Amino acid sequence: MSDDRLRSARDALRHQREWFARISAEAAAGTPVALVNADVPHELFRALDVPYVVNQWWSSVAASRGAAQSGLDAVARAGLPRDSEPYNLIGMGNVLNGDSDVVPGWGSLPRPALVATDYTGDVTRKLFEAWRDVVGVELFAFESVAQTAPVDEWWRFIADDWERVVGSRRIDLMVAELHELRAVLERVSGRSYDEDRLREMLVLGNEQAEWNRRTRDLIASARPLPVRVNDTIPAVMLPQWHRGTEWARDAARALHDEIAERVADGYAVVPDERARLMWIGRGLWFDMDFYRHFEEHYGAVFVWSMYLSIAADGYARHGGEPLRALASRFIGFHERLYVAPEASDWYVAQARQHGVDGVVHLVSDDPRGGWAITAALERAGIPVFVLRADNADESTYDAEEVRAQVAEWLRMLRPTGPT
Amino acid sequence: MSAALRTPVIAVVGRDVPIELIEAHGAMVRRLELHPGSDVAEATQILGTGMDPAAIAVLAGVLETDAAPFDAIVLCSDSDATQRLFYGLRELARMKPERGLPPIHLVDIVHLPRASSLEYAREEVGLLAARLQAWTGRTPSAADLSRAVRERDLARLLLADMRRRVDGATFFAWRSSVDEMPAAVAVERLRAALAAEPDPLPESVPVALTGSSQYGPEVVAAIEACGARVVADDCAGGSLGLEIGAREPSLDGLSERYWRDGDSAHRGSAPERAARLAIAAERQGARAIVSYARRRDDAASWEVAAVRSATSLPVIVLHDQDYGRVDRSLLIDALGEKGGARV
């Protein structure tokens, strides 16, 4: 068993540090910077040269470097609830604290000139309105509308037939909003919108998605598993925040090529691989050793997480008018990850493609579609261990107890396997 | 008996369902609810524990009772919980047809002040009209629709008058029952009640209520049993939106009305809501504002700071409350301290 991390993951992290240092310097020199939620159309910001920081990415950095509490304290001092979606609140608190809130190794989050989100749920809306009303930052909001007519096997059709899969009415709505955002970004940046530039970015994004698809398919068919999920998560996600650039496209290709090399070399995460598992849910950030524990003690490997596979299946949009294609990329993301039947059918298909022996399903104490997803997998004959924990709150998480329960489930799963 | 030969019954959840459109199709409206204390285990398994227990209770009610009397269930996106309840019911209907659930429909009214949002809301109302036609077998005339819209607007205005005449529990009882009455009947009964000599109001601390939705009088009655009298509110299921009428009694006018009526705790702007609540509270002589929120219904917690900024009245925070319950000791102490109550 090797401890070698992927070069691609290290390179992506180095690039992210250099990029953030550059954006911080630009902000200090007066360039307007935006802070955007993960599921808004970033490409339009890039097309108009408005640098942006992704809210959830910043939260992960601040949380991993001990700067979350100071941010949340600042939120509480402003009279706002610090425990309502804290993961999405950290950046606001860090900005309220100003330059004093330094994240070791990264610096401070620049005060944005603009924040953008879609209005999913009750709290995201309130949180971003607090950016406007409490912090004093311009807010641009998108509606979040529901898919009421789910499309079977969306992942097979969405890249080319996105108008049908996503729905023209929803696309019309977001395109109208994108025209409004375009005017805001033109005002903020002083640049003019160039449709050809956006079209080029969409092509680069499609190429990035295609490399991610090849990587996912490669991992799905490789025996034994050539790469850990802990490694693919940063190697996929950091380039996602730079979608539409040549660097991001090349980073996705480099990840693919590196894993292909490993497959060709017969590299194995666990040479004596005894169980292939799927991880459904957000990353267990405070116990990333969880995955390695089961590799080392049980020969069980986690072959799947949503981060690579949604990058493979969720982003490509070919043809059409650029703004319509861009809108269709972002509408309904939440449904494809969390709402049955779109999400549950996709997880079942992914489990089959990867030949998993079982699924560990992280079900948080929040209202996502846990029941329907577990039920769909079990109906498909795929054993599921439901791990009840909040990936952002370790206060009630008992690592030993959880590992013992998963181990017991593994024994039942493969009675002649791990002992 | 087919829906065309009897009066169809459409169950609704949330405040964004245009009930006048249901009435225009000759159907009756029933608001889904469940009384606290019922078995919510299966509903909790389906929807998860991180959700406004009111939505879990509604699902428990559907599971516990026979939903067959309803010709359809119409939900909306007035809160995350209502929308997730739609997803849960839709999946339940798909995976467990033996439950015999009626058709489930989401009318996804959006509220941002943009022409594109209004257009989307207009299309949603049009889609609902088409579904109602299919469920009921009836096509309302323009006159049917006009009458339903005008009468419902009038019923809401009379409810706003009633708000100023009665205690909070009585008002919320009227409010929830009026939604289920034919609008003409509601108008007649409200007029009769308003013409009668008003009952004397109890000697208690006048307060304004904000926070979670209240589709029924139970929580308000529990608050008033602690020595308060709810004289104003901005709750979904309460006074919110009563004075918003349709500018024209047509499908477009109805769509525009519901698009404008989005100022709930879950969908409205905190400072704008707080400013309006402060004015209403002071006009009605409130001596305190009570922010009441059920466990896992987080929107209200984001409004407390704005409410405090908007008013000099004391703000009593009753959050994380179990479904249908009120922390009596906390409220009684706070009323005594902040509202000058003798309780």
Query: For residue B282, which of B208, B196, B201, B174 has the smallest C-alpha distance?
Result: B208
Which residues are within 8 A (CB) of B293 and not within 5 positions of it... i.e. 6 or more apart? B211, B212, B299, B300, B301, B318, B319, B320, B321
Query: How would DSSP label each residue in A364-386?
Result: -SS-SSHHHHHHHHHHTT--EEE
Q: Which amino acid is at A36?
A: V
Using the Cβ of B272 and the Cβ atoms of chain A, whether some distance falls under 8 Å is answered with no
The backbone region for A16, taken as left when phi is positive above 0, alpha when psi lies in -120 to 50, beta otherwise, is alpha
Bridge partners (DSSP) of residue A361 are A280, A386
Q: Which residue has the tokens 């996804």?
A: B108
Helix (H) or strand (E) holding A55: helix A55-64
Bigger pLDDT: A231 or B342?
Answer: A231
| B80/A367 CB distance under 8 A | yes
A169 CA to chain B: closest CA distance, Å? Answer: 7
Helix axes A370-379, B80-95, angle to 10 degrees: 20
> What residue ranges define each of the domains in chain A, with the CATH number in brackets?
32-144 (3.40.50), 197-413 (3.40.50.11900)
pLDDT for position A419? 40
Residues B18-45 have pLDDT tens digits of 999 999 999 999 999 765 567 888 898 8
Rounded CA Rg of chain B: 20
pLDDT for position A417? 45
CB A416 within 8 A of CB A273: no
From chain A, the residues in CB contact with B271 under 8 A are 133
Give the separation between CA A106 and CA A66, rounded to whole angstroms: 12
Which of residues 111 through 170 in chain B touch A, CB cutoff 8 A?
112, 114-117, 119-120, 123
pLDDT for position B37? 64
Give the separation between CA A406 and CA A397, rounded to whole angstroms: 14
CATH of B9-136, one of 3.50.50.60, 3.40.50.2300, 3.30.420.40, 3.40.50.11890: 3.40.50.11890
Give the separation between CA A390 and CA A88, rounded to whole angstroms: 14
Query: For residue B82, which of B150, B32, B116 has the smallest C-alpha distance?
Result: B32
pLDDT for position A289? 85
Q: Enter the tokens of residue A401.
A: 């107890």
Query: How would DSSP label each residue in B56-118?
Result: HHHHHHHHHS--TT-SEEEEE-SSHHHHHHHHHHHHHHHH-GGG----EEEE-----SSHHHH
Give the separation between CA A281 and CA A347, rounded to whole angstroms: 11
Give the separation between CA B83 and CA B90, rounded to whole angstroms: 11
Confidence of residue B342 (pLDDT cuts 50, 70, 90): very low
Phi, psi angles (nearest 5°) of residue B155: -60, -40
Rounded CA Rg of chain A: 21
Q: In A163-199, which positions are buried (b, 16+ CB within 10 angstroms) versus exposed (e)? A: eebbbeebbbbbbbbbeebbebbeebbeeebeeebbb
A58 CA to chain B: closest CA distance, Å? Answer: 22
Classify residue B259 as exposed, middle or buried by CB count within 10 Å of its CB (0-12, 13-18, 19+). Answer: buried
Query: For residue B324, which of B217, B211, B203, B196 has the smallest C-alpha distance?
Result: B217
Assign domain B142-338 to its CATH architecture: 3-Layer(aba) Sandwich (3.40)
- β-sheet with A384-388: strand ranges across: A300-304, A275-280, A358-363, A384-388
CB B266 within 8 A of CB A122: yes
Longest CA–CA span in chain B (Å) reads 60
Do B142-338 and B9-136 have the same topology in CATH? yes
Q: What is the mean pLDDT of each run of 10 residues along chain A (419 residues)?
A: 79 97 96 96 97 94 87 95 89 93 94 96 94 96 92 98 97 98 97 97 98 98 95 94 98 98 97 95 79 93 96 98 98 92 97 97 75 95 90 74 94 63
From chain A, the residues in CB contact with B303 under 8 A are 126
If you average pLDDT over residues B325-340, what whole number do you get? 87
If you average pLDDT over residues B153-177, what whole number do you get? 97
| A143/B301 CB distance under 8 A | no
Q: Please give the ipTM for the structure prediction.
A: 0.94
Give the separation between CA B30 and CA B19, rounded to whole angstroms: 10
Helix (H) or strand (E) holding A73: helix A68-77
B270 CA to chain A: closest CA distance, Å? Answer: 8
Query: How would DSSP label each residue in A113-181?
Result: SEEEEE--TTHHHHHHHHIIIII--EEEEE-----SSPPTTHHHHTTTSHHHHH-HHHHHHHHHHHHHH
pLDDT for position B69? 82
Q: Is the pLDDT of residue B282 over 80?
A: yes
Domain assignments of chain B as residue spans, ordered by start: 9-136, 142-338
From chain A, the residues in CB contact with B48 under 8 A are 363, 365-368, 370-371
Please name the member of B77, B299, B308 whose beta carbon is closest to the beta carbon of A79: B308
If you average pLDDT over residues B192-220, what whole number do you get? 94
* Strand ranges inside B97-240, DSSP E: 104-107, 205-211, 228-233
pLDDT for position B329? 95
Please name the member of A81, A145, A369 whose beta carbon is closest to the beta carbon of B301: A81
| A148/B106 CB distance under 8 A | yes
Phi, psi angles (nearest 5°) of residue B300: -60, -35
Q: Which residue has the tokens 């993961």?
A: A87
How is residue A87 annotated by DSSP?
Answer: G
CB B211 within 8 A of CB B52: no
Residues B148-158 have pLDDT tens digits of 999 999 999 99
Give the separation between CA A12 and CA B57, rounded to whole angstroms: 47
Three-class DSSP category at B232:
strand
| B51/A367 CB distance under 8 A | yes
Q: Compute the residue count for chain B.
A: 343
- Name which of B80, B302, B309, B319 to mutate to probe chain A: the one with the most chain A Cβ atoms within 10 A of its Cβ: B302
Q: How far are the Cα atoms of B64, B66, B93, B106 from residue B99, in angstroms, in the given order?
A: 11, 9, 7, 19
First to last CA, chain B: 55
Give the separation between CA A261 and CA A34, rounded to whole angstroms: 38
pLDDT for position B149? 98
| B87/A339 CB distance under 8 A | yes
Q: How far is CA A361 from the centre of its chain?
A: 17
pLDDT for position B36? 59
Q: Which amino acid is at A50?
A: V
Classify residue A22 as exposed, middle or buried by CB count within 10 Å of its CB (0-12, 13-18, 19+). Answer: exposed
